[in-house]
Structure formats: C-alpha cells, structure tokens
A and B are shown apart, each in its own frame.
Chain A
Amino acid sequence: MTSDVAARQVSPGISPREGKTVTGRAISALRKSRLATAGAILVGLFIIMAIVGPYVAPYNPSATSVYQLTSPSGLYLLGTTQSGQDVLSQLLSGAGSSLELGFLTAAFATVLSVVVGVPSGYFSGVAGESLSSLANVFLVVPALPLIIVIMAYLPNRGVLTMAVVISVTGWAWGARQLRAQTMSLRRRDDIVAARAIGEKTWRIMFVEMMPSLLPIIISGFLFTTVFAIVTEASLAFLGLTDVSSWSWGTMLYWAQNDQAFTLGAWWWYIPPGLCIALVGMGLGLINFGIDELINPRLKVQRNKQRGSAR
C-alpha cells in the first residue's frame, strides 16, 4: 500500500484527496513497519508498568529494612538500596510520574507548537515572520539552564509546574517543522481552492491541512516526550524536583547521594536509567516509522536495488 503512495508522491507522503481514510491508512502503514511496531510494543509495556506498577509493587518503595545494599535475590528481585528499600518497588512506583510528566509536557508543547507553527507558515508577511522569529528565539536559547533557573525560584515543584516549565522551553523545534510543512502545503491545489471558495482561515489551517500535518505533529509529540523524561531525570538528579516522591530521576538522585556508584551497587543505578533509555528508544522507533511515512525514500526495500524506490 505504501509503495504506490511512494511512487506517486514524495512529500507529504499521504495524499490529501483520500479524505478521512488518511489516518487509518497511516496507522496501517505504521503497523507494517517492524521498527514502529517494536517501538509501540516497548512503549506499551512501560505504560502498562506505569498503570499497574504501584499495585503490584512487592514492598512500599519508601519502607526501609535491615537488608541493606543486598544484590538481587528471591526476596528482593532487584536488590535493595543503602537504607534497605526495595529497588523493584521504587522502579514500579516511579514509572508513573516519569511517564505522566513526559506525556503531559509533550501535550502542552505540542499545542504551543501547532498554535505558533502552523500560522507562522500559513501567513506570509509580518505576522508569519514574527511568529517564526518567536520560535527561533526559543530554539536557540539553551533550555536546561533556563529551566534550572526558573525551577530554583519556584517554591512548588510538582509535576504540573515542571510540565509547564519544560514545555515552554521545548515547543520551538516542532513549531519550526510545522512551519516548513505548512509553507509547502499553502500553495497546494486543494488549499488554494478552499481559500478561493471562502473557507474560514482557521478551518483551512487546523482542519483541511491537518491530515498532512498530523505525522509531523505526532513525531514532535514523541520527540518532546523523550526530551521531557530526560530533562525531568536531570532536574531530579540535581535535586531540583521533589526528591521525596518516586520517579526514575529521583531514584538516580538517591543512588548518587548514597554512593551507589562507588559502592558498585549496579542493581540500584542501572534499572532506572535503562528504563528511561528504553522508553526513549521505543518512542524513537515509532518516529522511525513516521519518518518513513513522511519520506518513503527512507524505507529499506530488500527485494529492490537502491534508487528504484523513486
């Protein structure tokens, strides 16, 4: 199915005239991508872990015991911390807040990037240019130092606050991608026709163009989720979040604080970082599939020679 789309069009990979079935086609194309499927399964497993984690955790993640710094055993599947807390229980309880923050931040940032990015590409002249400059300013100002400074001032460091702060600094890349795509869509026949018959501008931007913008919006959402989870971990590690609540980042904070690394307690510090990396990998693999959907040339076609994908 995708190869005939590929044959007809390069970018955007999905034809606008297929109307409502576009999203459905995109999903079935993604399902054919083995990488995207693997990524979706990986992310799905972690979402399940985040939902059921607190209920299946064998111990209270904060409860201390006399079994201090023990390596993995039947009693403690992932060993214990310096103060005898169960690592597995912390991992299961922490998954929720890490993923929640990631998705919440990505949702905020995506809305911002659509609201700024699409009009910046659609309107020519001063309006478009100033919106585009706004995105460019946010793109070049380094995010983490700004986040650190803001977080250092804020008295409340809950998930919602963090999501707002991280999304405000992390939406610009998506906006720039959307601007480029909107600019190329603006002159397409069906969009010009819609404008000619007097369709409302907001409807053209957010309804007519949506099928062709959607892959880029989703790709930006997934990208921002990874950014947010890694940023939360960095902030937690620096002690800038509420370190009394469990997330993968605060686990690493306590591991560092209690010398897990010099004591060689690998079972304590490997799992939280690995979980973050695997979630990042899962989301990255889904993006791989989306990239192939947007630009079918990227697809590896094993039965053909290079160059024949055109």
Chain B
Amino acid sequence: MQRLRVLLRRTFFYLVTAWIALTLNFFLPRMMPGNAVESVLSRLEGSGPITPQAIHAMTLAFGLKTNQSLFQQYAGYISDIFHGNLGTSINYYPSSVGSVIAGSLPWTVVLVGLSTVIAFVIGTGLGTLAGWLKGSWLDGLVPFTTLLSGMPYFWFGLILISVFAVGLRVLPFNGGVGDGISPSFTMSFFASAAQHAVLPAATIVVSAIGGWLLGMRNMVVSVLASDYIVLAEAKGLPRRRIVAAYVARNAILPSVAGFALALGFVVAGSIVTEVVFGYPGIGDVLYIAVTSRDYPLMQGIFLIITLVVLLANLLADIVYVFLDPRTSEV
C-alpha cells in the first residue's frame, strides 16, 4: 500500500509539472518583448519573403486569435494539445508539427535510452568496484572522470568523427542509416542503423559515465563503513555477497533518485550530439527548427521532450520504489 501511495503522489507531481510545462509553453512567446507574431514576422522578413502559410501556421501555433481573450486562447491551446494538435510546421510545410516529431522521436528514444542504460550499468559497476577497492589503482583513476564530465559532449563526438570516420574511415558519421535504406523490419536496416549509432552512442556513454561512477563510488564507500556491513563482516559473510547483496543495493538508491539531474544532462548532451552526427532524431530537428525560425515546431519539440523526460523520471521512481525496501513498509 505504501508503495502505491508513493507512486500515486509522484504521478500527481509529474502531472502538475506537465501542466506547468504546457502553460509555460503557452506564455513564453507572449512574455517576450513585443507582440510575438509581429516580432517573429519582422525577423522572418529579414530572411526572405513570408508566405501566407507561414503566417497561418504561426497564428495557429501561438493560438493567437485577436478576437479572443487570453483565457479563451489558453483554453483553445490546451484543448488542441489534448487532441494531439501541435500546429503546422513552417519549415516542413504542410506537415504538421506532430508528424515531424513522430518521425524523429523514435530515433532519439532508442539512441538516448540505450546509451543511458549502458552508461548507467558501466558507471555504477565501475563505481562499485572503485568504492570496494578504495585506495587501489582503480580508485586512483576516479578523479579523472571529472575530465569526462567537464568536456562538452559534442566536442568529444567531433573528435570521434575525426578519428574513426574521417581518419580511419571505419565508421559512418552522418545520418541514421545508409543512403537509400528506409526504416523497415529488415536486417539491412537494423545493421545499417546500428552501425550509424555506434559513434553517437559512444559519445553519450563516455560523457555520461563519469557522473554515475563518482556518485556510486562515494555511496559504496559510505555504506561500507556503516554498522550493518560491519555486522555482516563479523558474521563472516563472504565479501562478494556483502558487496552484491547489501552494499550495492543500498548504494544505488541515490543514483536512481538522482536520475532526474543525470537525465537532464544526457538530454542536453544528446541534442547537440545529434546535430554533430546529423542523426535524424529530435535534437537535430530542434536545431533545424531554431535555425529556420520554425517557432511552432520548436515549441512542439520542447513540449514533447519535456513530457518524455517526465515519463522517464516516473519510470525511475517506480524502479526506486521497488529497490528501496523501506517504501514497502506499512
């Protein structure tokens, strides 16, 4: 019961946060200096003639109907969102924002999802080992993870490109699959997609690993010094069992609880990483939207990324509740 209550409370929190993000998305263009549509249009004028479609798309996206009150506009905007209507893209006109996002989101979810899981597993694994062997040569390497965490993801990605793609020519570095291969359930598609994902995934994994490693190492060291571990040692339990069954399970809790922060970094890093690799995910589309001043698409992407991140956090919370025995107490 306790577990259920915790999960319901968290779910409620994420729903409220989602509503705040929706509202923020609505008010952002209105809070900016001047009238949003006018200032955006005047900026667009500088880069070429404006099509009536663009004006139409923008008015729709901002829900700016001058004959309506702000509240009516807001209600219309919320109702549109619930009907899955995010407006029309300017850059990909006449495609809807929703369909552009639907085409790119799977790429990102698979790439970022897999790399995050890999980084988490390797990072916490190495962190457990370093904490267990505190003071060893392996533990001595831990300070160097600060270098990995401090470097910009995209810079590391560019170095991988220049070494493996331009220099050694062993891996592709542009796009999500080879030329002429369209997404389908065929071996050639998956093989090509996997090959194209190696370098972007390596970029995310290497850049993200340091944070997990350091956090886990510090927690393992703290837990190893606590009374129940000393008792387990005194009872003569094998070290291996102590570390796996008692230390790691307790030490991993803050890592799971700190998932929100880590995910924020991964999402930020992967947006720029996708741009570097021309990877057809949502980060690359966001970049295209920003450079082509496709405001409806930009806002739709912000909204979707936020919702996906909230969902991922909820999943992390569910994992946490089942990992932490205290939440199952009455």
Instruction: Say yes or no: A285 contacts B230, CB within 8 Å.
Output: no
Q: Which residues of A contact B218 (CB under 8 A)?
A: 291, 295, 298
Is B305's beta carbon under 8 Å from chain A?
yes
Instruction: Say yes or no: B150 contacts A277, CB within 8 Å.
Output: yes
Is B134's beta carbon under 8 Å from chain A?
yes
Residues 273 to 310 of chain A near chain B (Cβ within 8 Å): 273-274, 276-281, 283-285, 287-288, 291, 295, 297-298, 300-302, 306-307, 309-310
Sample 10 A-B pairs with CB under 8 A, ordered by A number. A133-B13, A136-B13, A137-B17, A144-B267, A155-B33, A234-B152, A234-B153, A277-B151, A284-B149, A309-B225
Instruction: Say yes or no: A238 contacts B290, CB within 8 Å.
Output: yes
| Docked pose: A274 CA to B149 CA in angstroms | 12
Q: Which residues of B contact A55 (CB under 8 A)?
A: none
The residue in B17, B224, B264 that gathers the most chain A C-beta atoms within 10 A of its C-beta is B264
Is B287's beta carbon under 8 Å from chain A?
yes
Is A207's beta carbon under 8 Å from chain B?
no
Is A141's beta carbon under 8 Å from chain B?
yes
Is A197's beta carbon under 8 Å from chain B?
no
With known contacts A152-B295, A273-B151, A276-B151, A240–B290 Cβ distance under 8 A? yes
Quick one: CB contact mask for A53-85 with B, threshold 8 Å, 1 for yes? 000000000000000000000000000000000
Q: Could you count the A-B residue pairs with CB atoms below 8 Å apart for me: how many are there? A: 182
Q: Which residues of A contact B139 (CB under 8 A)?
A: 300
CB distance from B216 to the nearest CB of A (A): 12
Q: A residues bordering B, Cβ < 8 Å?
A: 35, 133, 136-137, 139-146, 148-150, 152-155, 173, 226, 230-231, 233-234, 237-240, 252, 256, 261-262, 264, 266, 269-270, 272-274, 276-281, 283-285, 287-288, 291, 295, 297-298, 300-302, 306-307, 309-310
| Docked pose: A262 CA to B222 CA in angstroms | 47
Q: B residues bordering A, Cβ < 8 Å?
A: 13-14, 16-17, 20-21, 24, 28-29, 32-33, 36, 39, 134-135, 139, 143-144, 146-156, 158-159, 161-162, 166-167, 218, 221-222, 224-225, 230, 233, 260-261, 263-264, 267-268, 271-272, 275-276, 286-287, 290-291, 293, 295, 298-299, 301-302, 305-306, 309-310, 313
With known contacts A252-B155, A279-B150, A142–B298 Cβ distance under 8 A? no
Q: Which residue of chain B is the closest to A307 with respect to CB atoms?
A: B225
Q: Which residues of B contact A272 (CB under 8 A)?
A: 155
Instruction: Say yes or no: B29 contacts A153, CB within 8 Å.
Output: yes
| Docked pose: A235 CA to B27 CA in angstroms | 23
CB distance from A132 to the nearest CB of B (A): 11
